[in-house]
Amino acid sequence: MDKKILVALAGNPNSGKTTIFNNLTGARQHVGNWPGVTVEKKEGTLRWGDYLLRFVDLPGTYSLSAHSIDELIARNFVVEERPDVVVDIVDASNLERNLYLALQFMELEAKLAIALNMMDVAESRGFRIDVQGLEKFLGVPVVPTVATKKIGMEELIRAIIATASGSGKIGVKIDYGEEIETELRKIEDLIRKEPSLSKYPPRWLALKLLKGDQEVKKLFEGGEG
Amino acid sequence: MRREILEEAERSRRHLSSIFNDDPEVVIADRRYGFISGVCKKVVKRPPTERIALSDKIDQVVLHRTLGIPIFLLLMWLMFKFTFAVSEPPMGWVEEGIGWLGDKIGGLLPEGSMIQSLVVDGIFGGLGSVLVFVPLIFTLFFCIAILEDSGYMARAAFVMDRFMYKIGLHGRSFIPMLLGFGCNIPGIMACRTIEQERDRLVTILVNPFMSCSARLPVYLLLIGAFFPQKGSTMLFLLYLIGIGVAILMAKVLRRYLLPGPPSPFVMELPPYRVPTLRGVIIHMWERGVLFLRKAGTVIFGVCLFMWFLTSFPWNPQYNKDYEGLIEEAQKAFQLEVTSVAEDLAVAPQQLETHEGFSAFLAVQKEFDARVEGLEEESREAEAASRWRQKQLARLRQSYPGIYPLFLKYMEAKTKRDERIRDLERERAAEKMQRSYAGALGRAIEPIVKPLGFNWKIGVSLVGGILAKEAVVGVLGTLYAVGEEAEAPLRQRLINDTWPNGSRVFTPLVAFSLMIFTLLYAPCVAAIAVIYKETNSWKWPMFALFYTTAIAWIAAFVVYQGGRVLGI
């Protein structure tokens, strides 16, 4: 029997996500729409030894706040479908901005692996990135890749499989400072007591409530008293 | 319980807001960026001074205040030029291939049968006209994929944003509108790149006003007939009217139907990149296949439906006994043949093997073969004609007695052929008139009459909803009547009269018809795509009715206004 792994590919627009998706799945692609909306949903598969990897290409976004359909789709997929691995494709030449999305996946407690893509561009601009250091600080596997030249694809697949079958590190936890953390704990405790919310990471929900996220607020405004 | 959590969270929010004197959202984001920038400082070594990247240098030219738009227009012009040049030969092949296949398959089916009519007229005739566009669409998608993957498309939207903002649309609405000139379907599909739902809907809804290439044959037919001196001006005017109506309706829809603040347009300018062939081909393929699937299935269904409308009732009650009249014509010809044969003292069956007479027939046969497919009065046809004269003159010397008999025979044959052809055309026209399509035409005549249109134009406009080119095709079928059938469609339109003898088509009617064709209902494929793209029947139905209403009003104003002014 094949071991099935559901992988969500995420990343900022223009991070090379589509190229990586094409590299990994080749012609085994299926294009459809996300349910209820008209944003394209691409899926593809890859057989690797005993594993059958199913890739879902999430819309390219800069963040997971619910400001656009794309962001909402990406977020709901991770929350509702709980993919075995989320691969965040990060533009190495634009690391600061790209890592914002990675942090949000960590807060969603997704099993994350980072593809540090466009390493060639970063190097040609004179950036030198300490990959091991990045892995250590973020607490998730980081694989350097050059999607256009298909460099690092095998390493990425191995990292995906290792992440899927591993203990499930959820990455670093950001310290928001004493004031915010106190409020977060208070709300988190309340959320933990509410069984109907168990599928959501409590800290994430609490953060969203503090931020005043409209979509998350709807969860709480709904019926049951 | 949930509500209590929400209330608690709101208390926390207020509390934090007062501590930080700012929205907690901002504070949280700040902390995140702080963390990230800390990580990056530790793991990324930067060059001492970051040189201006190549991307920025290109942007200084491409996004230039004054040069930006001309550069963009030039690139678009090149793209269209390239697309049409490259896709023209394959479009010809597809057209020929479909015609050839239709002939072959039609030939295998029983002549005059329902199944033959269905396959040849319904499937190959209708679907073929759509498949012809496949090479064009794939080439266009290929070019767009290159522009997109290289990062230029984002710049184009950036350059056009200010102008689009003024007319109530979004910077990203520009590309879909531009694509609409080729075909509204990719135009509507391209609206996906517009993030905000309201902007996207408005752009979809006004896209059909961009005069797509399928409307060109209609303009060309009518301009050729009624404005031969002012062709390019008229054409340019029609395109301008389309753009004008699109802008106007965008403003109206944005204001009354889908009001809301204009969405901020924070343009992400990705670095330029050399597109990979693989990526470009995959992009082209994905969209092209979507076009084939979406448009193909719908058009196939409607082709069958239009075929049904124009072909049934299959055997209507005719005014005249066409079969009997055709037989009469045959009999009249046989009488002539008998009389010629008597003069030559042979049995009618032996006429074609008569020594002298067969020589004349052979010349005629050779001549018919030579001129087949040639245009009348072309140099080749004239040469064949001279050749025939020479051969006949030679034979006349050998068989002076037979020559007048041959002429008599040919005259009778031509008369019979013309008579039968006219009868068949007349029958086809009557069948059309008695078909469901004809009934439909009479039903809509009162609606289109104030625009100066008769029932035939009405039916052709219904056919045009299938595909705008079909307006010309349906007019061609409906006007294939009687003694003038040899004349080009253009001439037949000019000659058509109302029952009271006044002409149906005047330049004013032609202009009214062009305006109507430009503005009315998106074609079914476009309607289907609007459905797919909005996921509801509400918007395609709205598009169907509001565009048709505008078209009617515009054509009414043109026609009635023109009449008042005495044009």
Q: Tens digits of per-residue pLDDT, A106-141? A: 998 889 999 999 999 888 888 889 999 898 889 899
Instruction: Give the pLDDT band (50/70/90) at residue B427.
Output: confident
Task: Assess contact for B75 and B178: CB atoms under 8 A.
Answer: no
B124-133, B166-175, B232-241: the lowest-pLDDT one:
B124-133
Please determine, for residue B365, whether its predicted confidence score (pLDDT) is greater than 50: yes
Tell me: do B349 and B483 sit in the same domain: no
Give the best-scoring range by mean pLDDT among A17-21, A96-100, B43-47, B512-516: B512-516
Instruction: Give the pLDDT band (50/70/90) at residue A142.
Output: very high
Instruction: Give the pLDDT band (50/70/90) at residue B556.
Output: very high
Residue type, B265: F
Tell me: do B306 and B327 sit in the same domain: no
Which residues from A are below 8 Å from B35, CB to CB? 103, 174
CB contact (8 A) between residue A19 and residue B37 = no
CB-defined contacts A:B, below 8 A: 150
A192-201, B49-58, B195-204: the lowest-pLDDT one:
B49-58
Instruction: Give the pLDDT band (50/70/90) at residue A224.
Output: very low
CA atoms of B435 and B429, how far apart (whole Å): 10
CA atoms of B124 and B118, how far apart (whole Å): 9
Say whether residue A192 is in contact with chain B using an 8 A CB cutoff: no
Better-scored residue on pLDDT, A93 or B166: A93
Better-scored residue on pLDDT, A158 or B54: A158
Task: Assess contact for A85 and A198: CB atoms under 8 A.
Answer: no
Better-scored residue on pLDDT, B264 or A158: A158
CA distance A51 to chain B (A): 25
What per-residue confidence (pLDDT) applies to B39? 84
Mean pLDDT along residues A158-180: 81
Of A127, A220, A224, nearest to B5 by CB-CB distance is A220
Please determine, for residue B299, whether its predicted confidence score (pLDDT) is greater than 70: no
Tell me: do B158 and B303 sit in the same domain: yes
Give the best-scoring range by mean pLDDT among B146-160, B418-432, B532-546: B532-546
Task: Assess contact for A172 and A194: CB atoms under 8 A.
Answer: no
Is B440 within the bounds of a domain?
no
Instruction: Give the pLDDT band (50/70/90) at residue A222.
Output: low
CA atoms of A23 and A10, how far apart (whole Å): 15
What per-residue confidence (pLDDT) applies to B125? 67
Instruction: Give the pLDDT band (50/70/90) at residue B310.
Output: confident
CB contact (8 A) between residue B16 and residue A37 = no
For chain A, the average pLDDT equals 87
Of B25, B53, B276, nearest to A148 by CB-CB distance is B276
* B438-457 residue pLDDT tens: 888 888 889 999 999 988 88
Instruction: Give the pLDDT band (50/70/90) at residue A170.
Output: low
A82-106 as b/e, with b when 16 or more CB fall inside 10 Å? Answer: ebbbbbbbbbbbbbeebbbbbbbbb
Of B33, B44, B290, nearest to A95 by CB-CB distance is B44
CA atoms of B551 and B253, how far apart (whole Å): 16
Is B122 within the bounds of a domain?
yes
Distances (CA, A) of B204 to B164, B533, B539: 15, 9, 9
Tell me: do B259 and B346 sit in the same domain: no
Cβ count near A207 (within 10 Å): 24
CA atoms of A201 and A205, how far apart (whole Å): 6
Better-scored residue on pLDDT, A34 or A191: A191
Q: Which domain holds residue B520?
A: 447-564
Task: Assess contact for A56 and A78: CB atoms under 8 A.
Answer: no
CB contact (8 A) between residue A31 and residue B286 = yes
Residue type, A220: F
A180: closest CA among B124, B32, B107, B521? B32
Is B492 within the bounds of a domain?
yes
What per-residue confidence (pLDDT) applies to B229? 81
Mean pLDDT along residues B79-83: 77
Distances (CA, A) of B343 to A36, B347, B394, B398, B411: 84, 10, 21, 17, 16
What per-residue confidence (pLDDT) applies to B186? 79
Is B437 within the bounds of a domain?
no
Confidence (pTM): 0.52
Please determine, for residue B483, whether its predicted confidence score (pLDDT) is greater than 50: no
B308-330 as b/e, with b when 16 or more CB fall inside 10 Å? Answer: ebbbeeeeeeeeeebeebbeebe
Task: Assess contact for A210 and A184: CB atoms under 8 A.
Answer: yes
Tell me: do B395 and B496 sit in the same domain: no
Mean pLDDT along residues A210-214: 86
What per-residue confidence (pLDDT) applies to B263? 60
User: Degrees (nearest 5) of the Cα angle B523, B529, B533?
Assistant: 145
Write the DSSP assignment of B298-327 as a string of letters.
Answer: HHHHHHHHHHHHHH-SSS---SS-HHHHHH
CA atoms of B443 and B293, how far apart (whole Å): 33
Q: Which residue of B7, B40, B43 is the best one to mutate when testing the A interface, meaning the one whose CB has the most A CBs within 10 A?
A: B43
Instruction: Give the pLDDT band (50/70/90) at residue B223.
Output: confident
B74: closest CA among B61, B90, B56, B89? B61
Distances (CA, A) of B52 to B49, B60, B63: 9, 11, 16
Alpha helices in B449-537 (DSSP H): 455-466, 470-478, 489-495, 507-519, 524-534
**Segments of chain A assigned to CATH 3.40.50.300:** 3-165
Please determine, for residue B128, whether its predicted confidence score (pLDDT) is greater than 80: no
* Residue B362 host element (H or E): helix B355-371
B121: closest CA among B291, B309, B292? B309
Please determine, for residue B511, whether its predicted confidence score (pLDDT) is greater than 90: yes
Is B175 within the bounds of a domain?
yes
ipTM beyond 0.85? yes
A residues 146..185 contacting B (CB < 8 A): 148, 174-177, 179-180, 183
Better-scored residue on pLDDT, A213 or B510: B510
What per-residue confidence (pLDDT) applies to B562? 92
What per-residue confidence (pLDDT) applies to B52? 55
Q: Write phi, then psi, for A173 (nearest 5 degrees).
A: -110, 125
Is B210 within the bounds of a domain?
yes
Please determine, for residue B482, whether its predicted confidence score (pLDDT) is greater than 60: no
What per-residue confidence (pLDDT) applies to B265? 52
Tell me: do B236 and B186 sit in the same domain: yes
What per-residue confidence (pLDDT) applies to B361? 82
Handedness of CA B360, B366, B368, B371 (dihedral sign): negative
Tell me: do B140 and B260 sit in the same domain: yes
Mean pLDDT along residues A32-58: 86
Tell me: do B423 and B474 sit in the same domain: no
Task: Assess contact for B471 and B460: CB atoms under 8 A.
Answer: yes
Which residues from A are below 8 Å from B21, CB to CB? none
CATH number of A3-165: 3.40.50.300
B44-58, B141-155, B411-425, B536-550: the lowest-pLDDT one:
B44-58
Q: Dig out the tokens for B418 from the structure.
A: 């013309």
**Site of tokens 């809509």:** B444
Q: What residue of A is the nearest CA neighbor of B289?
A: A31
Q: What residue of B is the nearest CA neighbor of A147?
A: B276
C-alpha B258: how far from its chain's center? 30
Distances (CA, A) of B481 to A63, A171, B416: 66, 80, 17
CA distance B279 to chain A (A): 7
B157-185 as b/e, with b when 16 or more CB fall inside 10 Å? Answer: bbbbbeebeebbbbbbbbbbbbbbbbbbb
Better-scored residue on pLDDT, B251 or B157: B251
CA distance B294 to chain A (A): 12
CB contact (8 A) between residue A93 and residue B36 = no
Is B126 within the bounds of a domain?
yes
CA atoms of A20 and A22, how far apart (whole Å): 5
Tell me: do B228 and B329 sit in the same domain: no
Better-scored residue on pLDDT, A185 or B360: A185
Tell me: do B17 and B79 sit in the same domain: no
Say whether residue A7 is in contact with chain B using an 8 A CB cutoff: no
Mean pLDDT along residues B545-563: 95
What per-residue confidence (pLDDT) applies to B412? 84
Tell me: do B276 and B135 sit in the same domain: yes
CA atoms of A168 and A170, how far apart (whole Å): 6
Domain count, chain B: 4
C-alpha B228: how far from its chain's center? 22
Alpha helices in B227-321 (DSSP H): 231-252, 277-311
CB contact (8 A) between residue A100 and residue B36 = yes
CA atoms of B276 and A149, how far apart (whole Å): 10
Alpha helices in chain A (DSSP H): 17-25, 69-76, 95-107, 119-124, 131-138, 153-165, 178-192, 202-211, 214-221
Mean pLDDT along residues B153-166: 75
Tell me: do B472 and B525 sit in the same domain: yes
Is B63 within the bounds of a domain?
no
Say whether residue A66 is in contact with chain B using an 8 A CB cutoff: no
Q: Is A219 helix (H, G, I), strand (E, B) or coil?
A: helix
Please determine, for residue A89, whether its predicted confidence score (pLDDT) is greater than 70: yes
